[in-house]
Chains A and B, each alone.
Chain A
């Protein structure tokens, strides 16, 4: 029935299934409130649950911390994620591949679109300073980077991509209230589809901490990168898709996001 290893949470010994959980209920703190917290935990599959902390907030709310054993299992063979489907290259290899195969600089345009003013993501990928000990894309000799900064409108982004003859457009979205990040990305991909024929359209790459990496197709973009993505991963992906990486089987057609398992 199950194909792969099965896991459950680890507290301090294998298989104990222990989790911690915190939440607030809209009731003042009393015996009944504690009972309600334990009942909620039980319904969530935490059994037995221990209430380790309860504290009233204002006169109508109580905050709880619960520790307990969950009765759920995870079969790792059924877990579906987007695995990295391109080889991770060094800056030197990336520069060399672009020089050899493209024979010009690869043009990258980046921006935060919509009203989002958080340039932290796009700067981490593009600025020389970089992220997680890796230098940003501006550091790569063979990449020509245009960082448009924050609050760039979609028409301005399209115009800038055209002016820079962008091979790739990188868009970062941090603010997610009311799914603003999803609306903005859909608007962006639609604008590029409308403005340019498919064979001239730059590669559209989106990043941000709250994106679901499997939604690329639905949002009309080529790739989504989630939290923790490093500049080198992005550069490797761009090279893989746009000039083809040296790895066997690395032709562009096979580069569509593969789903593991």
Chain B
């Protein structure tokens, strides 16, 4: 009885699905779907290679410090980084004193209240403060940026596919639109063509546009490519500050587990040995 019901229900589902399939297939043949323009022109991120990649990869501290400088002097004017605190910069190889100086001299101050009047005010940041946002809120951020919201950068390399390479490629990927790009996909006012951006037209003006835009303390030549690489590495650290301890812990754990598994296998073989011996004797 159950089988009869089952077969009936099964035939029902199959008929409906094949019916839908037939209509879909007819449509598919009559009007084959056109690949969206975004697919044709969109590019996958370049892979410039970073020190933190791979099983043993570690951050290049000098690069992270340079990346911080690029973020501080270029990106931070529009992009917040709310999940990172100044104290975290000690991980980049800065001393406690240097971190305090960076916090104190940050272009945006930390919001506070005037202790006498209670009015909204601001004060120089302390090492324990989170990095203050350049805007009071999203509305102000949109208003200042032609209605485009600059995303918070704390997690940006984890919030995009292949994030580190994506940020690098995006920063270096501004070009003139290709000549065969359809008119409706050309950048409108306030938009810029970038083949690495999902819909090809990004509201951010090319942020890194000239060599020496940032003066590096360690004397590295600040080419656009170098700055893009450095800030991408820095943003990888902001998104995944525990990357190094994660990998080193992982190596230890997996090494331990391999030894354990071998021991467990030998133990298993030993315990089963007399069963196998019995089998052989038979």
Genuine A/B complex: no
Binding site for A on B (CB under 8 A): none
